[in-house]
Structure 1
Amino acid sequence: TSVTNWFEDKRKFGGLIGAFPEEATRGSISNEKEREKRISVNTNRGLWARCDNCGNMLYVKYLKQNKNVCEERGYHLPMNSMERIELLIDRNTWIPMDENMTTKDVLDFSDEDSHQNRVAISQEKTGLTDAVQTGIGYLNGTLIALGAMDFHFMGGSMGSVVGEKITRLIEYATAKSLPLVLICASGGARMQEGTLSLMQMAKISSVLQIHQVRKKLLHISILTYPTTGGVTASFGMLGDIIIAESKAYTAFAGKRVIEQTSRQKIPEG
């Protein structure tokens, strides 16, 4: 298990000193509450992660070696866009595109918080300018165009920047005759941008039609947890090959929205 692996790791590199500073010399944890507290502290330091599916604590080092898949149940834990890129793209070959493109709050949208402030908070939290990273790089020696959405940025919502970056990526891939891989992780179109976000669905679909139908170039769509709304209704389902992670939540409208609209209980799955 992950816990066993972690203890074995500590023994290899000088024992448990530094693992649990106060108890390291005794080699044990005084009680269960104290043990949980230590695990919580180490989780915050990046040593542990909790599986969203089974609830088990997973040693991050071995979790990363296992490509963020829980060794107990085979559940795919969420990954951010950079982790996706590092997983797929050969080392030192990634060339990002349109990194500095940012959105403008043309609607001056505000509800509980302003759209502008939400974007700023997400930018600070993720280090990204918006909810997708695009670029080119080599995948096992083959040059590809890659777009990786990031659910940590406003739920991966697709606004004008996301739509424009993906559109430019597809146009570049078409011009250079490159295969295209799009990794979907999104709650759908960004409601704070209104029609500007909805039009991205048609814009992306139109350039994909040129890429796939006219130029006969490959588009692989990878569906992760979650892929919903406008992303599902556009490029998410337009791949020549569509790959879904195990237990990836894929839908147009989410379960909660359907239940609130229809006033009916929706079964699991």
Structure 2
Amino acid sequence: MNWINNVVRPKIRSFLKQRDDSAENLWVKCPESGEMVFYRDLEANQWVVPNSGYHMKIKSADRLASFFDDGSYETVALPEVPVDPLKFRDQKRYVDRLRDSRTKTGMDDAVMVTKGRLYGRPVTVGVQDFDFMGGSLGMAAGSAVITGLETAERDKTPFVLFVASGGARMQEGILSLMQMPRTTVAVLRLREAGLPFIVVFTNPTTGGVTASYAMLGDVHLAEPGALICFAGPRVIEQTIREKLPKGFQRSEYLYEHGMVDMVVHRHNLRATIGSLTGILTKAEPAPELASQPPVARISMRAAAVAAEGDDDLVTAPPEAAHAE
């Protein structure tokens, strides 16, 4: 009877498991409203739930394909760094975690650097992927951000960075924390070169990333509802033993308190960044931008920066922030 247990039953289990997986992939539940959305409809809408407007996490490749002209871009080669320098192990070895994340995401580490064209203008773009160990900042991620900044400086292009992170990577200890000053120095060099650095906060952006390069942009944009903080609200509530305000540390709250310059719907990010890079580099206006929707929100700080380019930045009232 061994052949029944060893062959037939595993095949039956495998068949049932495949059916369960496919059923889950067909529909996606909105975390905010509970709405069930067909997978392909959500993918076609850039992973924004149509009715609630909730911005779900989006893969790096999908974001880049919808951002660059014709979805065409070139991946920048990143420097190699030591793997598992501390020989770290908790419930599983660090090298095993890295291997699993690389298989899951198809990325070498949490940050990917690319270059291409945005409305005909050259631009360097970095994307931090939360699916790779929570977008944690380690030696490889820090070196990738520095490479992106140096590439923008060398090619004399703006640098746009989409950030998403749970903080520093504990498996690398002090070597992870050292990436904070390293990336800060690289940001200062780009600023000395007179090139714009635009940061786009996505959900979530926390910890050492927020405490370093994520808060050093010339203009800070944020997707709606993104958590942006150093320590999370749960940790703060447990420390001070008080209830925090509703929406605390979310994009809209930080915009109202001057920490974020603009809150922009994902569908409008491409046009908004295209306008800002053109203004900050004093480039000729792109004809394609004339037909794009206006910028959803802009703060006085961003307006002052834009005014230096002697160009007009079309604005819309705050209530239009979530309009598609």
Question: TM class by shorter-chain length?
Answer: 0.7 to 0.9
Contact 1:131 1:162 survives alignment (8 Å): yes
Output the CA distance in 2 between the equivalents of 1:67 and 1:168: 27
Match of 1:62 among 26, 41, 51: 41
The equivalent of 2:319 in structure 1 is none
Give the equivalent residue in structure 2 for 1:151: 130
**Compared with structure 1, are the counterparts of its residues 221 and 63 closer, same or farther at alpha carbon in structure 2 (3 Å cutoff)?**
same
Q: CA deviation at 1:73?
A: 1.3
Aligned pair partner of 2:173 in 172, 190, 194: 194
Paired residue type of 2:63: R
Structure 1: runs of 5+ lacking an equivalent: 1-38
Q: SS where residue 104 of structure 1 aligns?
A: coil
**Selected match of 2:58 from 76, 79, 82:** 79
Aligned partner of 2:117 in structure 1 is: 138
Maintained 8 Å contact 2:115/2:122: yes
C-alpha deviation, 1:237, in angstroms:
1.1
Letter in 2 for 1:194: G
Counterpart in 1 of 2:234? 256
Alpha-carbon distance in 2 for matches of 1:72, 1:239: 32
Say if 1:42 and 1:48, in contact at 8 Å, map to a contact too.
no
Post-superposition CA distance 1:202-228 (Å, at most 9, x none): 11111111112x111111100000000
Matches within 5 A, 1:156-195: 156-195=135-174
Residue 99 of structure 1: how far off its partner (Å)? 5.5
- Which of 81, 102, 106 is the matching residue for 1:127? 106
Q: Report how far residue 66 of structure 1 moved.
A: 2.3
Out of 173-182 and 97-106, give the one that drifted further: 97-106
Q: Residues 213-261 of structure 1, C-alpha deviation per residue, up to 9 Å, x if partnerless?
A: x111111100000000011111111111111110001100112333444
Is the Cα contact below 8 Å between 1:101 and 1:129 reproduced in 2? no
Distance 1:152 1:102, change over 3 A: farther
In the alignment, structure 1 residue 242 sits paired with structure 2 residue 220: yes
TM-superposed CA distance for 1:70, in Å, is 1.3
Asked whether the equivalents of residues 28 and 39 of structure 2 are also in contact (C-alpha less than 8 Å), the reply is yes
Paired residues of 2:65 and 2:72 also in contact (CA < 8 A):
no
**Counterparts of 1:14-25 in structure 2 under 5 Å?**
none
In structure 1, what is the equivalent of residue 26 of structure 2? 47
Structure 1 residue 220 and structure 2 residue 220: aligned?
no
In structure 2, runs of 5+ residues without a counterpart are: 1-18, 248-324
Residue 192 of structure 1 aligns to a residue in which SS? helix
Amino acid aligned to 2:118: L
Distance 1:124 1:102, change over 3 A: farther
Shift of 1:122: 0.7
1:26-69 CA distances to partner (integer Å, 9 max, x unpaired)? xxxxxxxxxxxxx975553x432221211111123322332221
Relative distance call for 1:100 and 1:233 in structure 2 (3 A) is closer
More helix by percentage: 2
**Given the alignment, which residue of 90, 93, 96 partners 2:69?**
90
Residues 148 and 182 of structure 1 are in contact (CA less than 8 Å); yes or no, is this contact kept in structure 2?
yes
The 3-state SS of whatever aligns with 1:91 is helix
Q: What secondary structure does 1:172 align onto?
A: helix
**Structure 1 equivalent of residue 209 of structure 2:** 231
Moved over 6 A (4+): none
Structural mapping, 1:80-119, within 5 Å: 80-91=59-70, 93-98=72-77, 101=80, 103-119=82-98
Is contact 1:186–1:228 with CA below 8 Å preserved after alignment?
yes
Identity %: 40
Q: Is the CA contact 2:60–2:128 (under 8 Å) kept in the aligned structure 1? A: yes
Is 1:81–1:132's contact at 8 Å kept on the other side of the alignment? no
RMSD, aligned α-carbons:
2.0
Indicate how the Cα distance of structure 1 residues 103 and 254 shifts in structure 2: closer, same or farther if over 3 A, else same: farther
Q: Distance in 2 between matches of 1:252 and 1:92?
A: 33
Secondary structure of the 1:236 match is helix
Q: How many residues align?
A: 229
